[in-house]
Amino acid sequence: MKKIIFFLVVQASLSTFGQNYKDSLTIGLTHIINNSKIPGIGVAIVNNEGVVYKTGVGYADVEQKIPYTTETIQNIGSISKTCIAFGLMKLVEAGKIELDAPIDRYLEFKIVNPNFKDVPITVRQLATHTSSLTDGKNDMTIEKTYLFSGDIDFKEKDLPEDYYEYFQIYRQNKKMKMEKFLKEIYLPEGALYSTDNFLNRPPGVAYQYSNLGSTVLALIIEKVAGKNYGTYIKEVLFEPLQLNSSFWKLQDISKERLASLYLSNGLKIPHYTLITYPDGGWFTNIDDFSKYYVEMIKGINGESTLLKKASYKAMFSNQLVPERLPNIEPNKTKGLMWSVNKEGDNVSADGADPGVGTFSLFTTAGNAGVIIFRNMSWDGGDDMTKDIRAIQRTVFQYAKPILQQSKK
């Protein structure tokens, strides 16, 4: 169940909690987790020089009392889409993809909004969620991407409210290649084709978050690179940064390293993979993701060797401007897959999937970032909302003094 997790802006503040801010933060997080139903979390604070703080709190598996550590691996939901942006800009730099080119140039089949057949969809529109592609009626088509590794024949009373219809879909899902799945959705002859898979507004005008549209972009990367998307990202990103605990396939991960996944009522669910794995199927841990985040922050300063500074600037700056999208609706901001605020000084990405909640944010001026993973999904309830906010607030509260202390 792909939901965009709420975005919480917290003012970081200096506080007088004693000089050992790292210990104080760990104690504060432990107190929150011990008094909440959230099983476990991983947290990191980074800057352009490296990781200044990281910890795991609570349990990777509650029943077996396995601690959640910075080495615990879990899927991180839609933060995975930031890899699509990276892979895209790598090919843009190589002159193999043009951001404002129609996607037909790179695909072996044609995707057209049936309501605006003469308006082409561009690569940039896919990367900024302005392509007019949707995730289906009420965002339900994307639910057909989940492939669970174990029994999910839960009774309605066992599941959090409103989850039963999702699990009814999950039980019927069949393994399918990513390209075939997209063809079934966006080609008129496809079994899942519907006008609900498209906005009744032309490409380049309206922002509509689309997991499926993001996966179309990943398929373009795959076609242009001439190799499987996961293999390509591993070669250009994971291996150079030595992200040795980052995976796209569940079968490649030792079960002992995986966090168990829990729904908001505490129900443990099996692990799963996604047909549309580029949009949310990155399995990683705090240790690896921290390295990745440090590299992204370095990129802002022209200190990264993986991409040019101009490519990072493109990813992390608002693309929804009249010069690029003349008819775009006002007051929207979006980088290339990354979220950016109106002021342009905060860049973020988050994720939400069954049993998963992730949050990350860094400042472009302060060269600092925070990362929070948890192995429980959020259902919008007041108690869990309060706990998630408390975790974020506590991390931000201590981030500034910890970062300042690290420079001494």
Question: Residue 166's domain is classified under what CATH number?
Answer: 3.40.710.10
User: Rounded to whole angstroms, how far apart are CA atoms 259 and 354?
Assistant: 13
Q: Let me know how long the chain is.
A: 408
Give the count of alpha carbons within 13 A of 348, CB side only. 22
Average pLDDT over residues 17-44: 92
Residue 403 and residue 362 in contact, taking contact as beta carbons nearer than 8 Å: no
Tell me the HSE value of 230 on the side-chain side, using a 13 A CA sphere: 17
In tens, the pLDDT along 225-278 reads 999 999 999 999 999 999 999 999 999 999 999 999 999 999 999 999 999 999
Cα–Cα–Cα angle for 181, 154, 63, nearest 5°? 110
Tell me whether strands 346-353 and 339-340 are parallel, antiparallel or unpaired: antiparallel
Distance of CA 127 to the CA centre of its chain: 13
Give yes or no for residue 18 having a pLDDT over 50.
no
Q: Is residue 257 a part of any domain in this protein?
A: yes
Partners of 376 in the β-ladder: 262
Tokens found for residue 60: 């990777």
pLDDT at 49: 94
Using DSSP, state whether 298 is helix, strand or coil: helix
Q: Hey, is 215 helix, strand or coil?
A: helix
Domain presence at residue 316:
yes
Domain that includes residue 142, residue range: 21-406
Write down the pLDDT at residue 1: 61
Three-class secondary structure assignment of 171-198: CCCCCCCHHHHHHHHHCCCCCCCCHHHE
Q: Residue 395 — pLDDT band, cuts 50, 70, 90?
A: very high
- Tally DSSP H helices, then E strands, for the chain: 10, 13
Classified as helix, coil or strand, 5 is coil
Interatomic CA distance for residues 404 and 198, integer angstroms: 48
Q: Which residues pair with 348 in a beta bridge?
A: 339, 361
The pLDDT of residue 341 is 92
CA–CA separation, 317 and 199 (whole Å): 25
Average pLDDT over the chain reads: 94
Quote the tokens at residue 136: 């289906």
CA distance 285 to 70: 6
Nearest residue to 220 via CA among 301, 105, 317, 139: 105
The end-to-end CA distance of the chain, in Å, is 44
pLDDT tier at 379 (50, 70, 90 boundaries)? confident
pLDDT digits (tens, 9 = 90+) for 293-319: 999 999 999 999 999 999 999 999 999
Note whether residue 9 is domain-resident: no
8 inside domain: no
Q: How confident is the model at residue 62 (pLDDT cuts 50, 70, 90)?
A: very high
pLDDT of residue 178: 98
Average pLDDT over residues 357-361: 98
Question: How far apart (Å, rounded) are the C-alpha atoms in residues 329 and 203?
Answer: 12
Residue 7 lies in a domain: no
Tell me how far apart the alpha carbons of residues 11 and 406 are, in angstroms, rounded to a whole number. Answer: 20
Indicate if the pLDDT at residue 330 is higher than 70.
yes
**Count of domains forming the chain:** 1
Structural tokens at position 354: 């069954």
The Cα 27–Cα 88 span in angstroms is: 41
Residues 6+ apart with CB under 8 A from 225: 87, 91, 96, 232
| Distance separating alpha carbons of residues 34 and 25, to the nearest angstrom | 14
Q: Which residue has the tokens 């990362």?
A: 371
The three-class DSSP label of residue 127 is helix
| Domain-located, residue 399 | yes
Answer yes or no: is 5 within a domain.
no
Residue 306 lies in a domain: yes
pLDDT for res 32 = 98
Tell me the average pLDDT across 6-35.
Answer: 70
CA dihedral in degrees (359, 360, 361, 362; nearest 10)? 170
Distance CA 227, CA 224 (A): 8
Distance, C-alpha 135 to centroid of its chain:
16
